[in-house]
Structure 1
Amino acid sequence: MSVFRTERGIDRLVNFSDATVAIAITLLILPLVDAGSDVGRLTLGQFMDEHFWEVIAFVVSFVVIARFWLVHHRVFDWLAAYTVPLLWLNFLWLATIVFIPFTANVLSSSEGQQPAVYALYIGNMLIATVTMQAMGMYIQRKPGVALEEALPAMDATRGWSTSLLMALALVLAVTVPSVGMWWLFVLFLSEPVHRLLRAVFARTPSGTDA
């Protein structure tokens, strides 16, 4: 597969991705904008109580998209070149990002404790996480795609730790819906899980993923 090295091509790829993420993260606020007309007839406390799930869905989804963008920014900062497969992986990742506002709206409208809704919401995030992991590994393993000076900084175990915890959050949210989206807090365990995976890979001769 051909490797493309034009600086303009990489800039267009990154700028297009950034713009798409910016639009998606902005769309998250629209349900609260529509609900803003209720402020005149409700106190702030009443508004927060009546629109609790919309607020929570916005805050959580905003943080999630911001985190996804930070990882994307870090991974694409490694690029020296790109290929067609990498472009399509990036399009798949962007599709999951633009889908988040929809899943967040479904979540806020359901008002909790619906396994199918949690499966849709967290499942989409899991696909985004795994796709980003695939892009990172592709960039590292495809000759000529990664900057030589970036190779030592690449660490696939960090991405796998997040993917595993996101999958765990999905399973827990579906099986124990009373906790629901709060299972996403297991992602705070990513650092200790990352250290554990690094220790395991360090003991394995083939554990050289970056």
Structure 2
Amino acid sequence: MHGESDEAEPVGPERLIYFSDAVIAIAITLLALELPVPHGEAHGNDGVLHFLREHLTEYVAFLISFSAVAMHWLLHQRLFRYAKGLTGGAIHWNLAWLLMIVTMPFTTKLLTSEADAFQIQFTAYAAGQALAGLFLWRAFSALRSGGLLKDHTPPSVIANTLSWNAAVVVTFAASIPVALVTHAASLCWGLVPAVRFALRSVRGRRDAGMSTD
């Protein structure tokens, strides 16, 4: 019984936040380590430039994944800076979020591999991004439902951050069926700001309608 009551007590968020930051740093480092480097067969300036052009897809994928990891980290720190404690639910969902983060080097390499399975490669990558956003939302929901946010947490900052997180989930999830009909489905990912604006507009109209009822 004593152990059960201890587990029910909220714990400080600092260790989880520091741990999450360390995992983010490792994931970004692993992304960089996967970048192709010219080898002995690339002779002279022309040979190196030819090698770099041949692997341009991998370099672009690295930049996309770096931006994605950085975006997930920014959303995380903007939300968890207001945590005053943690319970099991928030910790478990945060670990699920970190699982998606650490698999990004793998899904990035899979996306740019020479395997002839575009739909599977694309789905694995996009689903990982969407699930990362979903798990982060669940982790923060556990904080909020448990009353574990600091006093005077600014609602506008939370709403703004969650709208970006929702846009990530919707955009990457929606790109998966698009990949079934075109190999240009990755262009959908550039629509995150537009999707976020649309979601904010829908919520604004809904809130306005509720206030007039």
TM-score, normalised via structure 1 length: 0.84
Aligned counterpart in structure 2 of residue 26 of structure 1, from 25, 29, 36: 29
| Counterpart AA for 2:141 | M
| Counterpart AA for 1:186 | L
Say whether 1:68 aligns with 2:68.
Answer: no
Say whether 1:91 aligns with 2:98.
Answer: no
- Distance apart, 1:67 and its partner CA: 0.5
Does the 8 A contact of 1:79 with 1:146 survive in 2? yes
Q: Secondary structure at the match of 2:149?
A: coil
Q: Could you list the per-position Cα deviations for residues 22-69 of structure 1 after superposition, in whole angstroms to 9, with x for gaps in the alignment?
A: 00011001222x523268426343122211221111111001000000
Does the 8 A contact of 1:140 with 1:151 survive in 2? no
- Distance apart, 1:11 and its partner CA: 1.5
Distance 2:190 2:85 in 1: 36
Does the 8 A contact of 2:90 with 2:138 survive in 1? no
- Distance apart, 1:204 and its partner CA: 5.8
Does the 8 A contact of 2:91 with 2:139 survive in 1? no
Say whether 1:195 aligns with 2:200.
Answer: yes
1:18-57 correspondence runs (5 A): 18-32=21-35, 34-37=36-39, 40-41=42-43, 43=46, 44-57=48-61
Does the 8 A contact of 1:39 with 1:47 survive in 2? no
Q: Could you list the per-position Cα deviations for residues 128-161 of structure 1 after superposition, in whole angstroms to 9, with x for gaps in the alignment?
A: 0111111222222222x11121152321444333
1:12-161 correspondence runs (5 A): 12-32=15-35, 34-37=36-39, 40-41=42-43, 43=46, 44-110=48-114, 114-143=118-147, 145-153=148-156, 154-155=158-159, 156-161=162-167
Aligned counterpart in structure 2 of residue 185 of structure 1, from 174, 187, 190: 190
Change in Cα spacing, 1:18 to 1:11, as seen in structure 2 (3 Å) is: same
Change in Cα spacing, 1:181 to 1:113, as seen in structure 2 (3 Å) is: farther
* Structure 2 unpaired stretches of 5+: 1-6
Identity of aligned residues (%): 25
Which 10-residue stretch deviates more, 195-204 or 17-26?
Answer: 195-204
* Structure 1 unpaired stretches of 5+: none
Which 10-residue stretch deviates more, 185-194 or 11-20?
Answer: 185-194
Q: Could you list the per-position Cα deviations for residues 62-104 of structure 1 after superposition, in whole angstroms to 9, with x for gaps in the alignment?
A: 0100000000111111101110111110100000000000000
Size of the alignment, in residue pairs?
200
Aligned match of 1:11: 14
Say whether 1:163 aligns with 2:169.
Answer: yes
Does the 8 A contact of 1:110 with 1:117 survive in 2? no
Q: Secondary structure at the match of 1:18?
A: helix
Distance 1:113 1:186 in 2: 24
Change in Cα spacing, 1:12 to 1:140, as seen in structure 2 (3 Å) is: same
Distance 1:152 1:50 in 2: 48
